[in-house]
């Protein structure tokens, strides 16, 4: 996968329920660490050893709500589909170290700090799929659009472009000079992906031009067919591509329910699929001509709380009390048993375990049901039978999620935990299509269960998810925030010293825990079932994929 500057939402959980039945275990499950590492598992091979051609069969959970990744309606399905299609400024290795993406840029340099200035020199061969050169005007248009929330652009995140003073032409049309009015720490995450200037020309174009497909792209592949009857998207080689010729002829994405992934692998209908659950991993290992590749990745599951005004969880003190009553260790014990050596909750909203900057800031939500009950009592939520009540309102929480056994099992643990302190949980499941746009985005929940797909740009999550502007909430689905947290996030994002930025980010994280913003559960172990004769694809961890190198062995 190319690494993008924003985190994305995915309905499928990062946790993996271990449906363990006596006698059904396997010594071949290869449990390992849950920490982000410095290696990955992709069966690396020189492209010369691969055969030319072939179709790679993959899956998505639903048709993308939009193909504009920068739009507020973006989700992980669009991130998956556009990965072989769109430019990014940098690529990442397995340890999260960044390098200039030379397919699109010959050089990207921080050329000034007072003010901050970055110079992008575009690869002279880089063109859009219609043959139009990629120029500085494309960068300027995207910068203007992502700074344009006040002008009606429905952006997922400003990605620091609200701090950009101007984008100017450099020595020629193939160079852009970006000058900041305020420093931006995660500047390497900008223009990832980059869209053509037509997509960013107006709020209407931003919303509509790439709503149902990509009008213009730029990658080793292009979209050649979208069949909504067969629930299938087909990518083929881009005839305008100037880089190394892809080994694959086509990549096919089919919309599938999560329950169909293992059968798809077993029946040779899929070549590559994420595997959740000890039973699924074990079964995939037993499938003919299939291997399960494993590398922990920066994807984490959580419970997001709805703190909007008038909601039952509007008071942060109530939210924090709720978090104290949920046994996260019991959840990860149940969900990761047999998949990682030492199951443990994720204790930071910004950094992954094993990533530089990670520290445990979870003290406000330490499991303590007695303290939780006492805090609710003090706040006036008194037991009335089995359920607490205040001012005639019952403490009943609607917990919404994708219809999948893995999520439902987690919800049932939460339900049992909260019932013990007099809080009722109603579990409500939905199909993947429309879960975000129709349920979570409008705020039709008290608790929402989903996963964030992260990247080597952890600070970007601060603005995208945890800052709160009621006029542009971005990824803040719970509508929770304070002016103090906003100010600290702003300070963090302006810190160009990486070590100081880490310190400030952890101060932000402590405030996020104190607000009862959300409850992290755990990060994804990263198990993928892959055809044994596939190379340069598998469990990427923090690394980018090179789609020109993915292919089948001769």
pLDDT 10s digits, 82-108? 999 999 999 999 888 899 999 999 999
- Residue 148 has φ and ψ, to the nearest 5°, of -105, 30
Residue 517 domain flag? yes
Question: What does the longest C-alpha to C-alpha distance in the chain come to?
Answer: 74
Residues 275, 189, single domain; the answer is no
CA dihedral 5, 221, 239, 554 (to 10 degrees): 130
DSSP state of 201: S
Residues 94, 188, single domain; the answer is yes
Q: How many structural domains does the chain have?
A: 3
The alpha-helical segments, DSSP class H, found in 111-201 are: 136-146
Q: Which residue, of 209, 238, 270, is where some domain finishes?
A: 209
Residues 160, 286, single domain; the answer is no
Instruction: Write down the pLDDT at residue 395.
Output: 98
Which residue range forms the structural domain that includes residue 93?
A: 85-209
What are the structure tokens assigned to 472, written together?
């542009």
Q: Which residue, of 159, 180, 209, is where some domain finishes?
A: 209
Residues 200, 224, single domain; the answer is no
Residues 358, 479, single domain; the answer is yes
CATH number of the domain that residue 335 is part of: 3.10.105.10
Sign of torsion, CA 402 399 520 497?
positive
Least confident span in 56-60, 258-262, 471-475? 471-475
pLDDT one-digit tens code per residue, 188-234: 999 999 999 999 999 999 999 999 999 999 999 999 999 999 999 99
Residues 459, 517, single domain; the answer is yes
Residue 226 domain flag? yes
What are the structure tokens assigned to 426, written together?
């109603």
Residues 149, 251, single domain; the answer is no
Residues 192, 269, single domain; the answer is no
> If we measure between CA atoms, which residue out of 75, 60, 62, 66 comes closest to residue 431?
62
What are the structure tokens assigned to 312, written together?
């039952």
Residues 438, 309, single domain; the answer is yes
Residues 170, 231, single domain; the answer is no
Residues 411, 334, single domain; the answer is yes
Q: Look at residue 2 and tell me whether its pLDDT is greater than 50.
A: no
Residues 185, 250, single domain; the answer is no
> Can you give the pTM of this predicted structure?
0.80
């Amino acid at each position: 996968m190319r690494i993008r500057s924003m985190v994305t939402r995915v309905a499928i959980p990062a946790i993996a329920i271990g449906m363990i039945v006596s006698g059904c275990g396997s010594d071949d499950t290869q449990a390992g660490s849950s920490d982000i590492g410095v290696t990955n598992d992709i069966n690396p091979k020189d492209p010369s050893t691969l055969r030319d051609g072939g179709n790679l069969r993959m899956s998505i959970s639903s048709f993308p709500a939009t193909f504009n990744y920068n739009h507020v309606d973006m989700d992980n399905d669009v991130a998956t589909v556009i990965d072989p299609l769109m430019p990014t400024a940098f690529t990442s290795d397995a340890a999260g170290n960044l390098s200039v993406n030379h397919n699109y840029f010959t050089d990207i340099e921080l050329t000034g700090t007072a003010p901050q200035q970055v110079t992008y020199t575009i690869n002279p061969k880089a063109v859009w799929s219609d043959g139009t050169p990629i120029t500085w005007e494309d960068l300027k248009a995207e910068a203007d659009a992502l700074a344009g929330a006040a002008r009606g652009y429905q952006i997922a995140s400003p990605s620091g472009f609200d701090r950009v003073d101007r984008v100017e032409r450099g020595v020629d049309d193939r160079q852009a000079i970006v000058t900041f009015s305020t420093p931006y720490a995660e500047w390497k995450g900008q223009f990832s992906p980059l869209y053509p200037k037509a997509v960013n020309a107006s709020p209407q174009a931003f919303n509509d031009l790439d709503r149902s497909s990509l009008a213009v792209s730029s990658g080793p592949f292009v979209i050649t067919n979208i069949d909504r009857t067969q629930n299938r998207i087909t990518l083929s080689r881009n005839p305008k591509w100037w880089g190394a010729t892809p080994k694959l002829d086509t990549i096919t994405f089919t919309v599938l329910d999560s329950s169909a992934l293992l059968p798809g692998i077993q029946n040779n209908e899929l070549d590559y699929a994420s595997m959740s659950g000890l039973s699924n991993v074990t079964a995939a290992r037993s499938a003919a001509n299939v291997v399960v590749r494993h590398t922990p990745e920066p994807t984490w599951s959580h419970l997001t709380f709805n703190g909007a005004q008038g909601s039952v969880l509007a008071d942060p003190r109530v939210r924090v009390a709720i978090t104290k009553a949920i046994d996260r260790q019991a959840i990860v014990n149940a969900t990761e048993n047999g998949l990682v050596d030492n199951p443990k909750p994720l204790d930071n909203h910004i950094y992954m375990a094993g990533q530089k900057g990670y520290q445990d800031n979870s003290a406000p939500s330490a499991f303590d049901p007695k303290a939780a009950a006492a805090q609710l009592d003090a706040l006036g939520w008194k037991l009335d039978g089995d359920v607490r009540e205040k001012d005639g309102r019952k403490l009943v929480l609607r917990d919404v999620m994708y219809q999948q056994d893995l999520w439902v099992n987690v919800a049932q643990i939460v339900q049992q935990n909260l019932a013990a302190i007099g809080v009722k949980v109603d579990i409500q499941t939905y199909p993947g299509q429309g879960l975000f746009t129709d349920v979570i985005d409008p705020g039709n929940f008290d608790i929402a269960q989903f996963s964030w797909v992260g990247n080597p740009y952890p600070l970007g999550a601060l603005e995208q998810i945890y800052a709160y502007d009621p006029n542009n909430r971005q990824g803040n689905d719970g509508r929770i925030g304070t002016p103090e947290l906003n100010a600290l996030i702003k300070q963090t994002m302006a810190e160009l010293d990486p070590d100081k930025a880490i310190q400030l980010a952890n101060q932000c994280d402590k405030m996020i825990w104190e607000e009862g913003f959300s409850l992290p559960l755990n990060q994804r172990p990263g198990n993928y079932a892959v055809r044994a004769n596939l190379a340069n694809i598998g469990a990427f961890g923090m690394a980018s994929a090179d789609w020109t190198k993915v292919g089948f062995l001769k």
